[in-house]
Amino acid sequence: MKINRRESIKGALGVAAGGLLGPAINIGSAQAQSRAETLRHVMGAVFTSLDPTLQGATRESFPLSVNIYDRLGSFARKPVPGGLSFDFDNIRGELAERIDRASDGLSFTFHIRQGATWHDGSPVTTDDIQWSLARAVTAQSLAKAQMANGSMTSTDQFKVVGERQIEVKLSRPDRLGLATFCVPFIPMFNSKLAKKHATADDPWAIAWLKENTAGGGAYTIESNRPGQQVVLKRNDNWKNSEDGKLPFFQRIIIQTIPDVSSRASLLERGDADLTLDAAASDIPGIEQRGKAKVIGLPQSNSFQCIAFNTLIEPFNNRLVRAAIAAALPYEDMFKAAMFGRGEPLFGATWETPTHSAMPQKMPLQYDLDKAKALLKEAGLANGFKTTFSFPTSASASVEPMAALIKESLAKLGIDVTVQKLPDAQLTTQVVERRLQMFFDFGTSWLPTPDYTTRVFFSGTGRWNASGWNDPEVAKLVGEARYETDKAVYDAKMLEIVKRAQRDVPVALLWHPAHDAVIAKNIEGYTYWFHRGADYRDLKRT
């Protein structure tokens, strides 16, 4: 669909009256408002829920909620090469003005910010906080599992201990306990408003909160046309910024523009300010033309890989997995799939790991002679037939990579059938352990080595796509979760890295690039662990 400048302004401002969550925009006042104070974000996806904890919420719902709801805490920001990123090791208060942490790691006390109010003007109370935390551990939502990852499973763990103070107790000093309160799954709700829309069958107002909000964050929903556009309006009573100031932008217009090239064109014409899902193949041209700027940062908490189904033949043989890993043309794949953007997780030269990170750069390199020797040792010197699968949504980057894989493995006598599957179908087959070799990826919101291992490289859960389940790894990662001695923790993780190197459940490829295409006069963009935009950080110079 071709969109000219007049049509884009009309689409941005001509919101239909009677939106789900509030009055229609006053067209005259919106048009009169300075363009400088309005940010337009164009994306290819849609929001399926305004409640980030809802089962089935799309990924885009998570960063949206960060701007509408406050959490008790937040990660700080730090400068990194190329821009700004979240600082996982530095937690600050958000709705809590101060966080007291017990020296034994078994409790924290949140001091609720003086004068904090909800969007309807009512004061934030400890009852609201206690209700929100009870909802997080009780309702059937994404929050429940997230809280369990921080060792919080019972309402008995949350206690009001003062006029504006909530104490949280843990049975063990879980290293993810406090960090859990910083993720989008744990928003604080205006319980009085939510309760008005609760029912006997829905005591946590899950149905109502899907399409309505009960927050107190930096922005309110001004209008919502599901699948098309959401407009946010600044909450001028918000008091929870790090520096005590309000966000720069008074209004945020978030539009769904399905065509990826149209999104890039809108940025370059000056009709939009931000897109986070430009095609990797378009990025070099955008940079060369210089009409918009690109902030490209490796997704330090994400990885992409070739996963092997370790539960079926012949991939239940680690020699076969190691042989294929040695036959992958990593550099060529990196250029074809990512245009060299991101951070490689292949090509390390170590024989014994010295770094306890997981994942980390592994000693995976193209070595066809080594691959042939390993395959011969596995008893498959003449090769075999297999499949390589990938989701339709990733076809732009994975399809050229798949051709290289097929060509390279043919040199080992391995006949690869490449299959592109609809996302839902591929996910089902991964869960049912029916695929053989496939493209996979993971993102850790809480990127500690033990958490990443526990979720993606151990156990029988959905996200351990390879099915690799070394009993010793399971034991070590369970112990590391609660280990307070750093030297002991690192030793356990180093042993896990060694076992992953030996068994090759996946061939790690890279941290993909997070490319934010933004208008040249927009500053303050930060890469967040949820891979979305925090509009509170942005300003127009």
Could you tell me the pTM of the whole model? 0.85
| Apex 511 CA angle, 506 and 512, nearest 5 | 115
pLDDT one-digit tens code per residue, 110-130: 999 999 999 999 999 999 999
CATH topology of domain 91-182: Dipeptide-binding Protein; domain 1 (3.90.76)
pLDDT one-digit tens code per residue, 312-350: 999 999 999 999 999 999 999 999 999 999 999 999 999
Helices (H), 283-420: 283-289, 318-326, 330-338, 368-377, 395-410
What mean pLDDT value characterizes the chain?
91
Percent of residues, the chain, with pLDDT higher than 90: 84
Contact call for residues 44 and 258 (beta carbons, < 8 A): yes
Q: Mean per-residue pLDDT for 377-405?
A: 95
Per-residue pLDDT, 45:
86
Topology alike, domains 5-69+217-278+519-540 and 302-513: no
Per-residue pLDDT, 31:
45
DSSP letters along 144-209, please? HHHHHHTT---GGGEEEEETTEEEEE-SS--TTTTGGGGSTTS----HHHHHHT--SS-TT-HHHH
Residue 241's pLDDT band (boundaries 50, 70, 90)?
Answer: confident
Q: Mean per-residue pLDDT for 220-229?
A: 93
Domain boundaries of the chain, sorted by first residue: 5-69+217-278+519-540, 91-182, 302-513
CATH topology of domain 5-69+217-278+519-540: D-Maltodextrin-Binding Protein; domain 2 (3.40.190)
Per-residue pLDDT, 6:
34
Quick check: 504 pLDDT over 90? yes
pLDDT-wise least confident of 172-176, 303-307, 505-509: 172-176
Kindly list the strands in the beta sheet with 107-112, ordered across the sheet, starting from the edge strand earlier in the chain: 96-101, 107-112, 165-169, 158-162
DSSP letters along 31-46, please? HHS-GGGEEEEEESS-
* CATH tag for 302-513 (out of 1.10.357.10, 3.40.605.10, 3.40.50.970, 3.10.105.10): 3.10.105.10
Per-residue pLDDT, 239:
85
What the block records as the tokens of 428 is: 């089902």
pLDDT one-digit tens code per residue, 9-46: 333 333 332 232 233 334 344 443 577 899 999 999 88
Per-residue pLDDT, 3:
35
Task: Return phi, psi of residue 495, to 5°.
Answer: -65, -35
